[in-house]
Amino acid sequence: MYLTMTKPLFNSYFLFFLILTAFALSSCKKESDQPSWDVDILAPLISSSMTINNLVSDTLIKINPDSTVNLVYTSSLINYSADSLAQIRDTNLVSGFPIFSGTFPGGYQIVPLTPTVMNFQVSGVVLKKAILKTEFINIIMSNPIGCTLIFDYEVPGATLGGIPFRVFDSIPGNTRYSKTFSLAGYSLDLTGPGGTSSNTMSVSIVAYISKNVLKYTIPNTTALIDSNRIYNTQAEYVQGYLGQSTKNIGPQRSAFSLFKSIRSGILNFSKINITLDMDNSVGVDATINLLKISSINTKTGTTVNLICPSVINNSINVSRASQTGNPASPVDSTIKSVVINSSNSNISTQFFANLPNQLAYSLQVLVNPLGNISGDNDFIYSGHGINANLQVNIPLSALASNLVLADTLLLNLSNSKQIQKVNSGSLYLYLTNGLPFNAQVQIYTLNNINNKLTITDSLIQTPNNTILSANMAYIGNLWKVSSSVNSKLAIPLTKSKINNLVNAKKVIVLATFNTPAQNNFINIYSYYQLDFKLVADFNYNLSTKN
Amino acid sequence: MRKLFSISILFLSAGLLNAQDMRECFDANYSDKRSTFSINADAFCNSNSIPVDFVDALYLGQNISSGFINNVAGNLNAENRIGAEFNYSIHYSYKPDSCSRYSKFEFFFSIQNRTHLDGRFSGDLFNLVFNGNKMFAGQTANFDNFNLNLLQYQQFQIGICSKIKAGGIRYGIGLSVLNGQQYQNILAKKAELYTSPDGEYINFNSDITYKQSNTSNTNLGSSNGAGFGVDAFAEKSFTIREELTEKIKFELKDIGMIWWNKSSRTAVADSLYHYDGISVNNILDPKNSAFSKLNSDSIFNKVVQSNPGKIASVLPGIIHFNSVTSYKTWQLSKGIRYMYDANYKLNVYLTGNYFITKRLMVSLGAAYGGYTVFSVNTGLGADLGSGFIVHLFSNNIEGFIIPQIALGQSVSVSIMKHF
């Protein structure tokens, strides 16, 4: 028997259906964007190997045929460009050339050939010849008569391919002529009209009435005014006597990067050589006097002066270069080297034991100390000069004791969502050390506290924070690495350490090195290497949104 | 009474099959109506090992505790299955009058939005994803035969079926044009992950194929492919004795394919990959930015070879056999069904329907198989008068009552108007 559905019953069924539908739909609403859960991750992150090439800048390393390594550092003490010895300043020459009076037909020469001399403004030097790299001559002439003048301007001593510099042009009546010409590449004979002078150059001019004029009358004697300006002169080559001068360099400091990361400790090298290499590629005699050279350790505030009587305050003559006659390589430089080592100086015992991060020096360069002994045959080729370099050469055979190296790295993990999702765990550093030293390592985080960078945490778990040295054996009269040694360092990742790492502005990596206890100098070979792998072992909040 | 048990073809292609049977139960009340319009929606998510509240937590974007994960992990099988669908549609059917030359047929039309997801996975894969790889230190996590399919498409269907004749065979067919919106398929014939005891290296041995349609264009209605689908059925009713009838029905549903365009990609990982960290040339060089290289993409690209090009996918088609015994106000529906190429196990069900009144019916039943193990179905149908009929049905009512242990949840809603 069926029940009859009444209107109210219909309404209640419909309402029930709507409620159920609403419930079903509302249950589909998402609470948040993505689900998340915690997972335990055990995975390698980074693997790498380090050799001495990674520890020291490539430019400082020289690998020898037997795989031993030399540290080579070059510091420039003098870089004296000789261009400054014979600079030709801008020169002006104003001359007046008389013009005849009278009535003249067109084409008549009214200014006779009149040579004049231009003196170059140079000081202390006697220039006989120059080849110009750049130079400009500005010729300015005023025509005082009422008809057009034709002029022929010539500089017989300025030649290009044997042809003198010449300007043949016209000046309309009662006007001013001004044109600029380049003399780049011209060879200048600066011995003047007689060929015996110096710093001078002759100029000649001839002027005519224009042939287009039938006849012209010049009532009174007047003059053609010529005003020349020679400027922006740069010589490719000059010859003459370049004078006697003294150049003082310093006292000044330069950074010395070889030991820049060393904070403290003892680092002894079996041998250190310094070579003072002097190179004179100018046709003048030079005397170099190294007045003082000091090693400065700004971290300890210690300064050690080099004591080397054969070099310091002892004039070293470097004779003039010679000309080869080969345009591609026109100069045969004079090179002189002076060796500074442990037998003639305090270089090993004190100078570099100071572990300097700066060198300070002062020196003097004397040009033509004996005067004009070349008979005005000094010369300079542009770009050549007098140079002196200090070359430090250290065979990497060392003995380190509590040698502390520190490096500061910028860090910005504040935007790294991944690291902030680590709940807890550790990073493990697995090392296989094939280098002949052990290193106690620590990483410190730094953050701004009260506007001052302050250490906020240390990351590597102690006391097991030492990378063990490779095993050594006495092989062929030398201590060498016989086998690598494994170490494991742990970096715990507690929430507080993670926060300190995320908030850190910088980290300092501090490592204390010691060579093995044989008390012998240990050669570092280029094939020695340290392999390491960073492994993550942590609990991580994983989200499908990651 | 025979009219009461007569069926319409309205829900030939709609949603859950038990629900479909239910929706037909009031058709006899409106046998004089020639047109029917309905709006339908159904959704389910079933697994043979993952409880409902875990799926809900994932879907709702909750933070899932380790204890919860371990509880689920403790009940995993050697092979675990999961399947989910979300479909909604509009249907229209028309019965020509007896004077028409087509009076022996009914015609129908529908537009449907279909989403299907299915997968199978090992317990190791679940643990790897939800617990991490640390628990496998020194061991191999095995997820061979991992498979995941995601298919989204729109279906435009027209069909025809014969009207019922006493003692005769009734048949029908629906043809569909499909718009492919999104397809993703992962098949791992072999996949093993070995983690060394100290985590210094990981070995990944794989033979995995990953197919995906254009991922930059996945919004509703986006067209990344096209295909066809066919539905068909045949049924026959028997009168055993007065008020006792039997109807048997065989149907095929979603037989078809989609061809995805050339913006699709096929990725293959068939190698042994040894990973021991991102290799950094000089760790002391800050420009090296080692940590910037630590992303999954860089590792993925090393393992996988990916190529663009057209791909094809087969629809997860259904084979269904059903028998309904009717006696007075009772019906007993029983049947078996199978969805091929969709990680589906043969499903066997038994459902009883009871008409409280001519306009109100309830149902209750049980099933075994499919994506889950055991499920309880129940439903409610009401003829609201004036041609309005509503249905609410669930194949997994246990998922709403005991979501902590139930392995499935489903709901089907339909609003129908005869006119």
Two tokens, residue A290:
């190294």
Contact B132 A40 (CB under 8 A): yes
**Quick one: closest CA in B to A4, which residue?**
B357
Flag whether residue B177 sits within 8 Å of chain A, measured between CB atoms. no
Q: Could you tell me the residue ranges of all domains in chain A? A: 39-64+399-543, 85-241, 244-395
Question: Which residues in chain B have their CB less than 8 angstroms from residue A539's CB?
Answer: 132
Q: What does the pLDDT read at residue A430?
A: 93
How far off is chain B from A473, nearest CA to CA, in Å? 29
Contact at 8 Å (CB) between B324 and B332? yes
Classify burial at B233, counting beta carbons within 10 Å of its beta carbon; exposed 0-12, middle 13-18, buried 19 or more: buried
Flag whether residue A379 sits within 8 Å of chain B, measured between CB atoms. no
Question: Per-block average pLDDT, block size 10, for chain A (546 residues)?
Answer: 37 41 44 81 87 72 87 85 76 83 88 81 84 87 89 91 93 92 91 85 88 86 83 88 88 85 82 90 93 92 93 92 91 93 89 90 92 91 89 86 82 80 91 90 88 88 88 82 92 89 86 78 86 90 75
- If you search the block for the tokens 């016209």, which residue do you land on? A170
Domain that holds residue B69: 2-418
| Interface predicted TM-score (ipTM) | 0.83
Flag whether residue B292 sits within 8 Å of chain A, measured between CB atoms. no
| Of B64, B277, B358, Cβ closest to residue A35 | B64
CATH entry, A85-241, from 2.40.10, 2.60.120, 1.10.357, 3.10.350: 2.60.120
Flag whether residue A20 sits within 8 Å of chain B, measured between CB atoms. yes
Question: Which residues in chain A have their CB less than 8 angstroms from residue B277's CB?
Answer: 44-47, 533-535
Mutate: best of A17, A23, A37, A467, partner B, most B CBs <10 A: A37
User: Is it the case that residue B84 has pLDDT exceeding 90?
Assistant: yes
User: Is it the case that residue B365 has pLDDT exceeding 70?
Assistant: yes
| Cα–Cα distance, B397 to B406 (Å, whole number) | 9
Flag whether residue A47 sits within 8 Å of chain B, measured between CB atoms. yes
Average per-residue pLDDT in chain B?
Answer: 87
SS in 3 state form for chain B? CHHHHCCCCCCCCCCCHHHHHHHHHHHHHHCCCCEEEEEEEEEEEEECCCCHHHHHHHHCCCEECHHHHHHHHHCCCCCEEEEEEEEEEEEEEECCCCCCCCCCEEEEEEEEEEEEEEEEECHHHHHHHHHCCHHHECCEEECCCEEEEEEEEEEEEEEEEECCCCCCEEEEEEEEEEEEEEEEEEEEEEEEEEECCCCCCEEEEEEEEEEECCCCCCCCCCCCEEEEEEEEEEEEEEEEECCEEEEEEEEEEEEEEEEECCCCEEEEEEEEEEECCEEECCCCCHHHCHHHHCCHHHHHHHHCEEEECCEEEECCCEEEEEEEEEECCEEEEEEEEEECCCCCEEEEEEEEEEEEECCEEEEEEEEEEECCCEEEEEEEEEEEECCEEEEEEECCCHHHHCCCCCCEEEEEEEEEEEC
Q: What does the pLDDT read at residue B128?
A: 94
How far off is chain B from A483, nearest CA to CA, in Å? 21
| Cα–Cα distance, B313 to B150 (Å, whole number) | 11
How far off is chain B from A480, nearest CA to CA, in Å? 25
Q: What does the pLDDT read at residue B86?
A: 94
Q: How is A116-142 classified by DSSP, letter by letter? A: EEEE---SS-EEEEEEEEEEEEEEEEE
| Of A20, A46, A407, Cβ closest to residue B277 | A46
Residue with the larger pLDDT of the pair B195 and B21? B195
| Cα–Cα distance, B262 to B260 (Å, whole number) | 7
| Cα–Cα distance, B76 to A338 (Å, whole number) | 82
Q: What does the pLDDT read at residue A250?
A: 83
How far off is chain A from B170, nearest CA to CA, in Å? 30
Nearest Cα to A310, choosing from A348, A343, A353? A343
Flag whether residue A10 sits within 8 Å of chain B, measured between CB atoms. yes
Q: What does the pLDDT read at residue A8?
A: 38
| Of B64, B282, B283, Cβ closest to residue A37 | B64
CATH (domain of B165): 2.40.160.40
β-partners of residue B172 are B161, B233
Flag whether residue A32 sits within 8 Å of chain B, measured between CB atoms. yes
Q: What does the pLDDT read at residue B22?
A: 55
Task: Determine if the peptide bond prior to A193 is cis (ω within 30°).
Answer: no
Classify burial at B125, counting beta carbons within 10 Å of its beta carbon; exposed 0-12, middle 13-18, buried 19 or more: buried
Contact B62 A5 (CB under 8 A): no
Per the structure, the count of domains in chain B is 1
Contact A540 B62 (CB under 8 A): no
Q: What does the pLDDT read at residue B298?
A: 60
pLDDT band of residue B165 (cuts 50, 70, 90) is low
User: Is it the case that residue B95 has pLDDT exceeding 90?
Assistant: no
Q: What does the pLDDT read at residue B297?
A: 59
Contact at 8 Å (CB) between A497 and A42? no
Classify burial at B100, counting beta carbons within 10 Å of its beta carbon; exposed 0-12, middle 13-18, buried 19 or more: exposed
Mutate: best of A46, A54, A411, A544, partner B, most B CBs <10 A: A46
Contact B284 A50 (CB under 8 A): yes
| Of B61, B69, B195, Cβ closest to residue A32 | B61
| Cα–Cα distance, A157 to A183 (Å, whole number) | 12
Flag whether residue A34 sits within 8 Å of chain B, measured between CB atoms. yes
SS in 3 state form for B315-378? CCCEEEEEEEEEECCEEEEEEEEEECCCCCEEEEEEEEEEEEECCEEEEEEEEEEECCCEEEEE
Q: Is residue A197 helix, strand or coil?
A: coil
Q: What is the pLDDT of residues B267-303, one digit of tens each?
A: 998 888 899 888 877 666 555 544 455 555 566 666 6
Q: What does the pLDDT read at residue A76?
A: 86
User: Is it the case that residue B15 has pLDDT exceeding 80?
Assistant: no
Flag whether residue B65 sits within 8 Å of chain A, measured between CB atoms. yes
Question: Which residues in chain B have their CB less than 8 angstroms from residue A13's CB?
Answer: 360, 382, 384, 390
Beta strands A286-297 and A316-318 are antiparallel
User: Sign of the CA dihedral A388, A394, A399, A401?
Assistant: positive
Residues in chain B: 419
Flag whether residue B173 sits within 8 Å of chain A, measured between CB atoms. no
Averaged pLDDT for residues B338-363? 94
| Cα–Cα distance, A398 to A391 (Å, whole number) | 19
Look up the pTM and report it: 0.71
| Of B137, B275, B382, Cβ closest to residue A13 | B382
